[in-house]
Structure 1
Amino acid sequence: MAIEQEKIVLLIRKYQDESITAEETLLLREWLVQDKENTDLLTQIKDESWLRAQLEGYHSLASEDLERESSRMAQQIAGRQVAKVRPIWIRYAVASMALIALSIGLYFYNPSTLSENETLALVEAERIPQPGGNKATLMIDGGETIALSEAHSGLIVAGKMAYEDGSAIAATATSFATLNTPRGGQYSITLPDGTKVRLNASSSLRYPVRFDGAERRVVLTGEAFFEVAHDARQPFIVETALQRLQVLGTVFNINAYTDEKQIATTLIQGKVAVSRAASGAVSTILSPGQQSLLDSKRLDVIDVDAAEAIAWKDGKFIFNNSDIHTVMRQIARWYDIEVQYMDDVSAVTFSGSLSRSAPISAILEDLELTQSITFNMEGRRVVVRKR
C-alpha cells in the first residue's frame, strides 16, 4: 500500500529531529522496503557534495518545469506509480528536495542531513526480515506461471480460476495446476468440490481443476490445513512423499516439510485413514485430537493439543516444550531467514505463544527469555549462540 507523499516527507523530517514515534518508524520502514530505490534515495541524501553538484542543474530549471517535476517526483516517492523522471539529475535532486521539505509545491534545499549512523540505521531497515503475508504463484501444467495478487488471500476453482472476491485470474485452460507459496508466504484455495485448503509458507498443492472419477486426489508438499467437503461417493486423497491420507469429509492439518523428521497429521474433526504411500494399505485410523507421526521406518499415533498444530493458520506460533531447532525452522520459513548455530543448543526448549505478525526482533527477544541462548541479526541471517 502506497503511503501519501506528505506523510513520507513528514516522517523523514520527524526522524531528523528525533520526534518520530515507534509507529511512525514502522511506517517509514514500510516505505523503505517497498522499493530498493527508496533506500538508494535515502543513501544519496547524506552525500552533500554529490547533491550540491546535482542542484546546479536543479536551480537552472524554469519555475513551471520545477513545479511539474517536483509534483511528479513527489508522487514517485510515495507510490512508485508514475514513470521514472529523466534526466537522472532531475530525479535525484528533486526527490531529495521532496524528502527534506514540506510537500506543498515549494521545494528547497536544506543542507542538514541525517548523520551517517542514522542513515545507515534506516538503510539497514530494508534488510530486516518482515513477517510473511499473502504470497503465492500458480503454475499451470504446460509451464505458465502466474504471480498471484498479494491483495487477496486465496483463490477459488469452480469452472474458472478466480480470487475469493470473484475477480478472474487469467490462466491458460488446463486439467491440473499447482499452487506454490514461497518462504514468507501463505495462501488459500477452494477446490472444485468446495474443499478449503490453506497453505503455509514454502508449500505446494497440486490439484485437478475438476474432480472426475472415483476419488478426489491432491498432492501436498510442505504444510496445509484442510476442510474437506463431505462426499461419501468420492473419497478425498492427500498424497505426500511418504504418506497417503484418505478421508470422506473432515478437518485436519498435515505437516510434510522435507526438513522435518516426520510427517505429522493432526485430526481436528471426522476420521482419516493414514497409510504409507508405497503400500497403500491402511496403517491406522485417526480420531479427533490424535496425531500420526510417520517416517521412513515407523508410524506412531499420539494424543495432542490440536491447537498447537494449527496455530499457524490463526496467525500464531504455539510451542509446547519444543526444541529450539523445531522452533527456528518454523520462524525461518515465515520470516524467510537463514539460521546459523554457533554452539550446540539442542537441549534448549521453548513453550509459549507468539504472534506471526510480530517483528522478528520481538520474536527473538521472547525466545531469549529462556536465558539459555542469544541471537544476533546479520541481515537475513540469525546467528544462535549459547548465553
Structure 2
Amino acid sequence: MNTEEQEKNSQIDALIERIKVQSPTPDDHHSAENSFSRLMGRLTTNDHSAEIFLRRIRQYRIGLVAATAALLLAIGSLLYTTVSETEPSFIVASNNTGNVQHIPLPDGTVIKLNNRSKLIYPDNFSGSQREVFLDGEAYFDVAHDKRHPFIVRAGALKIEVLGTKFTVNANSMFPQITATLLEGSIDVSNEKDHLLMKPNQQLTYNAENGEMLLTDLSDAEREIRWTENVWVLSDTPLLDICQRLERQFNVKFIIMNDALIHKSFTGEFETNESLESILETMKISTPFKYERNGKNIIMR
C-alpha cells in the first residue's frame, strides 16, 4: 500500500470513528442506521477513496454522531421518505485532484466542488424536492424550479433554495460552517433556528454552540475566487490558514511564538502554489521563522 492510500485510509478511519447515527423513528427497517447502510450499498462511486469508504463502512456498527450526525440523519430521513420500488441510485463525487471539479446535475444545476470535498447526490431527482449532501466546500448555481426546492444538507444545517447562486463551506472535521449568498435568497435552518439570507450576506454557523451569525459583505465575489483556483485571504486568522494548509499539504503546524497566534493575513494565492511559496509570501507582512521537520512545520 502506497503512502497516498495509507493517508486516505487514515482519513477515512478518522471520519468513520466520528460516524454514529441515532434513528429518528422507532421502526428498525427504516432506522437511520439501516437506511444509511442501504444508501452506502447503492452508491455509485467515481474515485478510489470513495470505494475505500464504502468498503470500510460495512465493517463498522453505526451508532451516534458528533459533527456529522445531522448529515447522516438527513440521509436516513431521505431514504425513509423515498423508499419505493424505484429507489434512486446515489453518486459520490469526491474531489482530491487539487483543482476545482465541475459537476452538472440532472436538473441543470451546476456545482463547483473544491479540493478535499465530497458531494453525494442522486443520479436522477424524483419526488417533491432536490436534495444533496455536502462535506467540504462547493459553489452552487441552482436551476430554478419553484415546484421542487433544492436542498443542501451540510452538517447540522439545511439550506433550501428555489434557484440561486451561493457557496457553502462545511468540513465535517471542523465545527464552523459558512454560507455566502451571491444571488436570490436561501433559507437556512437547523433544529432550533431559522433565517432567510439576502444577496451579499454571509452566514457563519458554530456547530459547537449552535449559534448563527449573519454578516453583510462589501464584495461577496471574493468568497468564490476559489472557483477560479485562487485562494483569497481577507484578514484571515493564522490558525484558520494553518488548518487549511494542513489539509492541503498533509502537514502539521506547531506554533512556538504566541505573538503569531492572533495575527491575521490578507492576500491571494494560486491554489497550485507550493507550501514554501505561501509561507514566504506571508512573511512579507508579518516576519516569522519556520522550519520543516518531516511533516511538522514549526513556526517561531
Q: Which of 251, 254, 258 is residue 340 of structure 1 equivalent to?
A: 254
1:209 pairs with 2:126: no
Q: Distance in 1 between matches of 2:103 and 2:238?
A: 31
> How many angstroms does 1:380 deviate by?
4.0
Aligned to 2:210: 297
Q: Distance in 1 between matches of 2:95 and 2:129?
A: 26
Aligned to 1:229: 143
Q: Distance in 1 between matches of 2:263 and 2:44?
A: 45
TM-score by length of 1: 0.53
TM-score by length of 2: 0.67
The two structures, once aligned, show a CA RMSD in angstroms of: 2.6
- Equivalent residue runs for 1:1-387 within 5 Å: 141-142=41-42, 145-147=45-47, 175-182=89-96, 184=98, 186-276=100-190, 278=191, 283-295=194-206, 296-304=209-217, 305-344=219-258, 345-385=260-300
> How many angstroms does 1:223 deviate by?
0.9
> How many angstroms does 1:358 deviate by?
2.1
Aligned to 2:31: none
> How many angstroms does 1:372 deviate by?
3.9
- Do 2:112 and 2:138's aligned partners in 1 also have CA atoms closer than 8 Å? yes
Bigger shift: residues 360-369 or 326-335: 326-335
Give per-residue Cα distances to partners, 1:194-239, cap 9 Å, x unaligned.
1111111221111011110100000111111111111111100001
2:145 counterpart SS class: coil
> How many angstroms does 1:143 deviate by?
6.4
1:230 counterpart SS class: coil
- Do 2:99 and 2:271's aligned partners in 1 also have CA atoms closer than 8 Å? no
> How many angstroms does 1:259 deviate by?
4.2
Q: Distance in 2 between matches of 1:181 and 1:306?
A: 24
What letter matches 2:202 in structure 1?
Answer: Q
Residue identity over aligned pairs, in percent, reads 30
> How many angstroms does 1:316 deviate by?
1.2
Q: Distance in 2 between matches of 1:273 and 1:224?
A: 17
> How many angstroms does 1:174 deviate by?
6.4
Give per-residue Cα distances to partners, 1:98-139, cap 9 Å, x unaligned.
xxxxxxxxxxxxxxxxxxxxxxxxxxxxxxxxxxxxxxxxx9
Q: Rg bigger for which structure?
A: 1
Give structure 2 stretches of 5+ with no counterpart.
4-38, 49-86
What letter matches 1:210 in structure 2?
Answer: N
